[in-house]
Structure 1
Amino acid sequence: MNGNGFEGLTVVISGGSSGIGAAAADAFAARGANVAVLDLNESPDHWSHRCDVADDNQVRLAVAAVADHFGRIDVVVNNAGIGAVGTVEENSDKQWFRVLDVNLLGMVRLARACLPHLRESEHAAIVNTSSIAATAGLVKRALYSASKGAVQSLTMAMAADHVAEGIRVNCVNPGTADTPWVQRLLDQADDPAAERARLEARQPTGRLVSAEEVATAIVYLADPVNKALTGTALAVDGGMSGLRLVK
């Protein structure tokens, strides 16, 4: 390995064709990694394989394809996810099952399929994308928050399970990020500009988090030099989780 940190290592990124996942793919590639994007949509910039994380067979086939193409898997970025808006009264059972299937079980499926390969790596790491919603009560985000709270708990349990194997497991907790997914939510609002201003004001920095900022944190958590980092939830949220600016 050279000074770039990831030279010769293979990084698998679910949901890597846009938003935070795409920014992470670019960041890892810039550090010398072989990047494999698993997504419903093909990545325009990196090797990719179509994969629906809600389908265990597709996940296993995609992981096998990555291992066959690159010869190894060293880092897994569990980033694929979908959103939901509503209170506990407003989301149907079907919506609950769908969001949990993708946001939580999708991570389980990908980690499970990659673990045999990670055990062969001296630099194994898993980084899960959780959210500030895991720890902060947000209006009309009951389902989404529950799914991301489960991701953070899963991260801690996985870290405990696999630390003796040399596999580090951490999660990143972004605040509201300036991504295509968030833009689609804004487009559904009665006044998109006003809704964007409200989201920006919610974060102490007064702006949305960039996908690149979250990607930098993901790379940091996965970096082989950070061997003591496991069981960590790293907030990249403009201070939302810890700062109270009311005087």
Structure 2
Amino acid sequence: MTLEINLDGKKALVTGVTSGIGAGIAAKLAEAGCDVTGCGRRAADDNGATAFLDSVHAHDRKAYYFSNDVSKPDEPQRLVDQAVDAMGDLDIVISNAGRNIFKGAENCSQADWDECMSLDLASHWRLGQAAKNHLTGNVRQPGVIVVITSNHAWNTIPGCFPYNVAKAGLVGLVQSLAIEWGPGIRSIGIAPGFIDTAGGDTWFNSFPDPSAERARTESMHPVGRIGSIEEIGHLCAFLASDLCGFINGTTLAVDGGRSALMQDD
């Protein structure tokens, strides 16, 4: 076995592909050889959807996009049915869709809680349920589910409730799927830290001096920078490959060493 990430002929489903981390994941899976079905809340003619399709086609792989709100209970099943109809099979699911719902424990309403738990926690479980029968393989050729959680699953800051609660729940979800659905399916979590996305730019631009805030944030990371969507995409492709057949039931922090710090200066 070589160290080349080879996913030739694999069929992947990625949620939340119209921007950010999901877009980066889809592109890297295609680069590794996957046909990719993607979804998002945006319409099929939206720029984000067409950018996803172009990124997969650039690697001469097949791409399909479906508008879907996975936070609604019946939508994950509809999405999986569409993906299987389009690609004929399903080998890899990257459950990425989510949104920062930061309210704080004092100000979080029941509606806020329900919205967050439905999108940031329950949708990942429902997608796994919908895909299970298509993914199940054997000891040598298992299907793969990768759940994108967050470093907020372990360490958070004031005001991020209930998002951090949902993300912590995904760590437990990954563990349960691994022990209950193995060996036919491997289940792995990825917990990104601060990744360079449009959402991050919005955060920096909320400060009087965005450049200074970006520099301050970068300095808090032992690697001296924030992460890229391409790095998360590369990791997803690696974890979905045969090179990682013994990685299961765990969630990997990808935060540039941020969580290693006991305190900031």
The verdict on a shared fold, with TM-score over 0.5 as the criterion, is: yes
Q: Deviations over 1:77-101 (max 9, x none)?
A: 0100000224211222211111111
Do residues 64 (structure 1) and 77 (structure 2) align? no
Paired residue for 2:58?
Answer: none
Contact map agreement 2:5 2:237 (CA 8 A) in 1: no
What SS does the aligned partner of 1:85 have? coil
Matching residue of 1:108: 125
Q: Which amino acid aligns with 1:176?
A: F
CA distance in 2, matches of 1:220, 1:235: 15
| Alpha-carbon contact 1:123-1:224 (below 8 Å) kept | no
User: Would the alpha carbon gap of residues 245 and 98 (structure 1) be closer, same or farther in structure 2, given more than 3 Å must change?
Assistant: closer
Other structure's SS at 1:173 match: strand
Is the contact made by 1:159 and 1:168 (CA closer than 8 Å) also made in structure 2? yes
Structure-1 residue corresponding to 2:113: 96
> Does the Cα contact within 8 Å between 2:146 and 2:188 map onto a contact in 1?
yes
Aligned match of 1:139 in 147, 152, 158? 158
**Unmatched 5+ stretches in structure 1:** none
1:76 Cα deviation after fit = 0.5
Amino acid of the residue matched to residue 211 of structure 1? I
Q: 1:209 to 1:155 in 2, by over 3 A?
A: same
Question: What is the TM-score when the length of structure 1 is the normalising length?
Answer: 0.91
Structure 1 position 4, deviation (Å): 5.0
Specify every segment of 5 or more residues in structure 2 that has no aligned partner in the other structure, as ranges.
54-63
SS at match of 1:178: coil
The residue aligned with 1:118 is 135
C-alpha contact (below 8 Å) 2:13/2:36 kept by paired residues: yes
Asked whether the equivalents of residues 149 and 191 of structure 2 are also in contact (C-alpha less than 8 Å), the reply is: yes
1:176 and 1:118, CA in 2 relative to 1: closer, same or farther beyond 3 A? same
How many equivalent pairs are there? Answer: 245
* Deviation for aligned residue 1:194: 4.3
In structure 2, how many angstroms separate the alpha carbons of the residues matched to 1:193 and 1:212?
22
Question: Conserved in 1, the CA contact under 8 Å of 2:151 and 2:191?
Answer: yes
Shift of 1:176: 1.0
Structure 1 residue 19: deviation in Å?
0.7
Q: Tell me by how many angstroms 1:187 deviates.
A: 3.6
Deviation at 1:141, TM superposition (A): 1.4
SS at structure 1 position matched to 2:259? coil
Q: Which residue of 2 aligns with 1:161?
A: 180
Preserved contact between residue 217 and residue 236 of structure 1 (Cα < 8 Å): no
Contact 1:172 1:233 survives alignment (8 Å): yes
Give the structure-2-normalised TM-score. 0.85
- In the alignment, the residues of structure 2 paired with residue 146 and residue 168 of structure 1 have an alpha-carbon distance, to the nearest angstrom, of 24
Q: CA deviation at 1:123?
A: 3.7
